[in-house]
Structure 1
Amino acid sequence: MAVKLICASHSPLMEFASPQDQTQEKNVRDTFKRLAEEVKHYNPTLIIAYGPDHFNGFFYDLMPSFCVGIRASAAGDWNYGPGELNVPEERSKDLIRQVLDEGVDLAYSYRMQADHGVTQPLHFLCDGQLDRYATIPVFINAAAVPLPTVKRTVKLGQAIAAYLKTLDLENERVLILGTGGLSHDPPTPQIGSVPPEVEEFLIAGRNPTVEARNIRQSKVIAVGEKLAAGDKSVAVPLNSEWDLKVLELFKNADFDALIAMTEDDIRQQGGRGGQEIRCWIAALATMHALGEYEMQVHCYEAIDEWIAGFSIISAEFKAKELNL
């Protein structure tokens, strides 16, 4: 069984704003193009896609810490989708059974709506075809407080590695995909501190009208414009120092240090969106449970216009033998 890993930041503003420093955007897009060619050549038989949600598919009426899609479609936010993801149902159910047997409780859905946290990296890495490869989406709550601990997130990643160990050693080519982070602070409303109509949206805001979605997205675009103009009052500023520290922890597989991070720690250093590093952590925990890895940082750019400390990494095993 071959296994590769790619983790990438995401930003819905990639198609709505261009950085003043055009070399930043070129670096990110060139990296995606290069890795997309590698993915095409690798031709994965299965993608495990760890991603967050931004109140497009998951809401407070029933908010799981983790959820696996048995069937899934694109939520259609930020023009990614609509369309069905190519979820292999029986494999997804086998994965769920294995994770439950490993002692990690998780929800599962026959009607998951995957938002740009999953669909944007699939778009860039799969030639715009969200259904090109068999993909099991794994939602990790990184927006609706209280959040799952990093320790529990690591255990999720390890439990999914136990499932991967059951696959055909000769013919499988698995791509582990993590998306989200690094530091960023989008204007995501927080329950308990918003008007009743906004709270109702956070509880049960599925399938908004086109007008409602456009209004919401325009607020995000406005924050990016203000950050780019130097107005740091609208959000927690990007934190390159923290981003690079976290990337180093990932590179060294220092899960003890990662587990020590609390929800408050991450919020203070990385903003509301920094909580999405859980998706990278789960992906790397899966990889590490299969064998020692070597990680490469392909790019890192702090891009205010995209409200993102934006990085793309990949990892492969140090040795040919997996821990099976």
Structure 2
Amino acid sequence: MSVLAACLSHTPLQGHFDPAPAILGEVDAAVATLRSRVTAFDPELVFLFAPDHFNGFFYDIMPQFCIATAADALGDFGTLAGPINVASAAAGDCARFLISSEIDIAVSHRMQVDHGFAGPLKDLFGSLSTPPIVPIFINAVAPPLASCHRSRLLGEAVGRFAATLGKRVLFIGSGGLSHEPPVPQIATAAPEVVERLINGRNPDEGAKAARIKRVISAASRLKEADPALKPLSPGWDEEFLALAQGGDAKVFDNLKDEVIEREAGASAHEVRTWIAALSATGAGQHYHFQRHYYRPIPEWIAGFAVASADRG
């Protein structure tokens, strides 16, 4: 068996509110480098760790971790839409392995996923026509959240399962570093917003357009350094990347939610997807980490990073 991790930020704002062409060129070059590495690796099976943004998962029942035996991309913000090529049998076997390993994971036979899943598939494969995928949702925006320690244990268990398959396996971690887009919090939201957080499935076109407008407005204000918005945190991002560079996933256990949120923003909890992917790559051993790109991009409300890793 051989393994590779591809970790990268995602943004639904690409094409809606972009940075300068030179920065776009930098991002494109970094993603192309990662895509070339994935293409050369030629994965036979992909485990994709990604969050949701109240598009597929809601507070009517919010699992911390969920694995899909079937999944569809919703196409929010005009991103890729349609069925994902899910490795159903492998996903079911993985779920049983995780539960026997005392990882309490939910199972969905009809998962709906958003740009957090679709974005990296487009970046790395160009479409939803991909190698077989095992989609794994990690809750990163709907408190209370399982700890970074639990994401590390999840990833390590997935890595141990993958080691039983004798395949070339790619682990994808899809998430931003520092960022705090206008995602409402159920504790402080107005009653009508709370209802959308509990069950906001199948929004009409007006609601979709309003959401895009709201996020673009926030990005525009962030670019202008509006003090009402939490800025990106390059310092925290560099600290996280330094932890990743060390090659020992156990260091992520020291990340505390209140510090992440205070220093990097409420959606920086998405680094759990990186933690899971890197932990799966190491599967309890060291991994080699390669940083390809980092830049804070306010137009995309993201500390935007691209990296890869293999078994150390």
Same fold (TM over 0.5): yes
C-alpha separation in 2, matches of 1:295 and 1:232 = 35
Q: What is the CA distance between 1:27 and its match in structure 2?
A: 1.1
User: What fraction of aligned residue pairs are identical, expressed as a percent?
Assistant: 39
Preserved contact between residue 76 and residue 114 of structure 2 (Cα < 8 Å): yes
C-alpha separation in 2, matches of 1:33 and 1:254 = 27
Q: What is the CA distance between 1:12 and its match in structure 2?
A: 1.0
C-alpha separation in 1, matches of 2:37 and 2:253 = 31
Paired positions, count: 312
C-alpha separation in 2, matches of 1:290 and 1:262 = 21
Q: What is the CA distance between 1:82 and its match in structure 2?
A: 1.8
Which residue of structure 1 lines up, in the alignment, with residue 252 of structure 2? 258
> What SS does structure 1 have at the residue aligned with 2:14?
helix
Q: What is the CA distance between 1:290 and its match in structure 2?
A: 5.9
1:157 aligns with 2:189: no
> What SS does structure 1 have at the residue aligned with 2:13?
helix
Which residue of structure 1 lines up, in the alignment, with residue 236 of structure 2? 242
Which residue of structure 1 lines up, in the alignment, with residue 182 of structure 2? 187
1:221 aligns with 2:216: yes
| AA aligned opposite 1:221 | I
Which residue of structure 2 lines up, in the alignment, with residue 2 of structure 1? 2
Q: What is the CA distance between 1:41 and its match in structure 2?
A: 3.0
Query: Aligned match of 1:299 in 290, 293, 297?
Result: 293
Which residue of structure 1 lines up, in the alignment, with residue 278 of structure 2? 284
Q: Root-mean-square deviation (CA), in Å?
A: 1.3
Preserved contact between residue 53 and residue 114 of structure 2 (Cα < 8 Å): yes
Q: What is the CA distance between 1:165 and its match in structure 2?
A: 1.6
C-alpha separation in 2, matches of 1:152 and 1:132 = 28
Give deviations 1:122-142, integer Å, cap 9, x for gaps: 111101x11321111100000
Query: Aligned match of 2:146 in 129, 136, 148?
Result: 148
Which residue of structure 2 lines up, in the alignment, with residue 95 of structure 1? 94
Preserved contact between residue 74 and residue 83 of structure 1 (Cα < 8 Å): yes
Which residue of structure 1 lines up, in the alignment, with residue 63 of structure 2? 64
Which residue of structure 1 lines up, in the alignment, with residue 168 of structure 2? 173
Which residue of structure 1 lines up, in the alignment, with residue 85 of structure 2? 86
Q: 1:94 to 1:119 in 2, by over 3 A?
A: same
Please give the TM-score of this superposition, normalised by the length of structure 1. Answer: 0.93
Preserved contact between residue 248 and residue 287 of structure 2 (Cα < 8 Å): no
Query: Aligned match of 2:197 in 202, 214, 220?
Result: 202
> What SS does structure 1 have at the residue aligned with 2:201?
coil
Give deviations 1:102-153, integer Å, cap 9, x for gaps: 11111010110111111101111101x1132111110000000000111111
Q: What is the CA distance between 1:256 and its match in structure 2?
A: 4.2
**Stretch moving more, 258-267 or 242-251:** 258-267
| AA aligned opposite 1:211 | G
1:119-158 matches, within 5 Å, as 119-127=118-126, 129-158=127-156
Preserved contact between residue 9 and residue 176 of structure 2 (Cα < 8 Å): yes
> What SS does structure 2 have at the residue aligned with 1:217?
helix
> What SS does structure 1 have at the residue aligned with 2:283?
helix
Q: Where does structure 1 lack aligned partners over 5 or more consecutive residues?
A: 319-324
Give deviations 1:18-65, integer Å, cap 9, x for gaps: 214x33221111111232233233221111000000000000000000
> What SS does structure 2 have at the residue aligned with 1:297?
strand
> What SS does structure 1 have at the residue aligned with 2:309?
strand
Q: 1:256 to 1:4 in 2, by over 3 A?
A: closer
C-alpha separation in 1, matches of 2:267 and 2:203 = 22
Please give the TM-score of this superposition, normalised by the length of structure 2. Answer: 0.97
Q: 1:256 to 1:47 in 2, by over 3 A?
A: closer
Q: Where does structure 2 lack aligned partners over 5 or more consecutive residues?
A: none
Q: What is the CA distance between 1:254 and its match in structure 2?
A: 4.4
Preserved contact between residue 98 and residue 162 of structure 1 (Cα < 8 Å): no
C-alpha separation in 2, matches of 1:16 and 1:253 = 36
